[in-house]
Amino acid sequence: MDAAIRSNPWKLGALLLIGTAIALSWMVFPYLVQGKQLLRGVGDQSREIKAGGVSRYMTRSLIFSPELEITATYASDEYFQYVDRAAVVRNLRPDRNFVFFVSETIHRGDLPGEVPQAVLKVGEREYYPEVSSGPSAAEHHRLSVYSFPKRAPDGEIIDVDGAGRMRLLVSGRYLGSERPLTFIGAWDAPYALPDELKSGIGITPVAVLALGAGLLSSVLTPCLLQLVVVFGSVLAGFATVPGRTVAGAAALEPLIRRKVTQIAAVFVLGFVLLYALAGALIGAVGHQAQLVFAEYSRAVAVISGLLVIALGLWVALRGTRDLVCRIPDRRAFAAANWRDLGGVMLLSMGYALGCTACFGGAIVGTLLVYVGAIGSATIGAGVMLTFAVGVAIPFLLSAYYISRMDTLLTYIARHARSLSYASATLIVVFGLILVTDNFHVVSDLIYPYLGLS
């Protein structure tokens, strides 16, 4: 069999190609399922159930007459979780500012040429907006946004809970008035949404599956393409039984067959758990996850990359050891195997965490819009678990295929050291990609050849 391997590299290449194709079989989703349309269809339906009630709860009518209507909506961070898109959160930062949307509609004449002035009154103190934006050329309808810092000019946090009420004063020259007319809207503390508006009603198990499939076929495809390479490197590096000799390689096949299966299962378990936990976190804290990712995603990616690099170097060091001579010692081999499985688990979760950090905007944005608004850790975990299982099954099938191919197993046994070094190099490279924030560069190089956007 050793001679057959040396003389027939085409057979070996074909077997590896088939194994890779099996691991990539989840790619049928992006081509056969319109992921973004699926997400939008299921997600918008669930959001619409909540958006109307949330908007009404946070909106006050400042004036309602046959000639003029003015409403003001307090756009808290919870409001954005249910009603608006994640990009707006990044721009307005409702965690740091009081944000209001003021809608004006006039039925006689035109609106004033300038955006109305707004003042926020908390207790006896008045505060002026840092952002006051809206169209000046509007005739009959205008929507303006106002943002007031949650810290007073002296740096102290504005205590709206202690004051018990905050009021927004909106002033403008309406209906031809010579002096500005002022209208007031008031919001009583507490400002959190009531529990009945946070319930998870509206998301069915079928919708969870649909959202998971939509996620799989759209936003995480670049991440998963690289995860396949890491998976192959881990299999090649950790399934080896390093030694100074290649004699009797066929005798190692049962050990390597078992290691391939174990390593694949542990690797899959690592990223499935990580993604499910990420989904649960996003589903539970909702809008706060968007802010956390905005603040800490880069640091998380760097830490994950360093962990991946360290484990890659360990794979290289592992390849220098002589385990073959110690195989008769069952305890020594079992201890080494458990260390390998622990390393695989850490590497899988570390790279998946780095992937989550690098694509955090897409992941959180999607789950915020379609899942986080429900405020349910169970639903968030269910969507991400559906996605992760969709990737896990091809990975496990690929590992099973490799474990059945004696030609591949013998090759792994014969080239343990060189495979360890090659695998370590690839793992370190992908760790560096995380550390240097070049994750998207690799995906951009791959995507044009796949016909995906």
What is the predicted pLDDT for the residue at 196? Answer: 65
CA distance 302 to 300: 5
Per the CB < 8 A criterion, the answer to whether 58 and 52 are in contact is: no
The mean pLDDT values, 10 residues at a time, for the chain of 453 residues are: 55 87 83 69 60 80 91 83 58 86 87 91 92 84 92 89 91 89 90 65 69 72 79 86 57 80 93 88 71 74 90 85 52 64 90 74 59 64 86 92 86 83 91 84 72 61
| Residue range 114-167, pLDDT digits in tens | 899 999 999 889 999 998 988 877 788 998 999 999 998 888 899 888 888 999
What is the predicted pLDDT for the residue at 51? Answer: 66
What is the predicted pLDDT for the residue at 118? Answer: 95
CA angle 18/396/208 to nearest 5° reads: 115
All domains of the chain in start order, with CATH: 2-33+217-449 (no CATH), 53-195 (2.60.40)
What is the predicted pLDDT for the residue at 33? Answer: 72
Q: Is 177 helix (H, G, I), strand (E, B) or coil?
A: coil
What is the predicted pLDDT for the residue at 294? Answer: 67
Q: Is the pTM of this model over 0.75?
A: no
CA distance 392 to 156: 50
Looking at the chain, the number of H-run helices and the number of E-run strands are 17, 9
Backbone angles phi, psi at 105, to 5 degrees: -135, 125
Torsion angle of the four alpha carbons 422, 424, 430, 436, in this order, in degrees rounded to the nearest 10: -120
CA distance 62 to 70: 5
Q: In residues, how long is the chain?
A: 453
Backbone angles phi, psi at 229, to 5 degrees: -65, -45
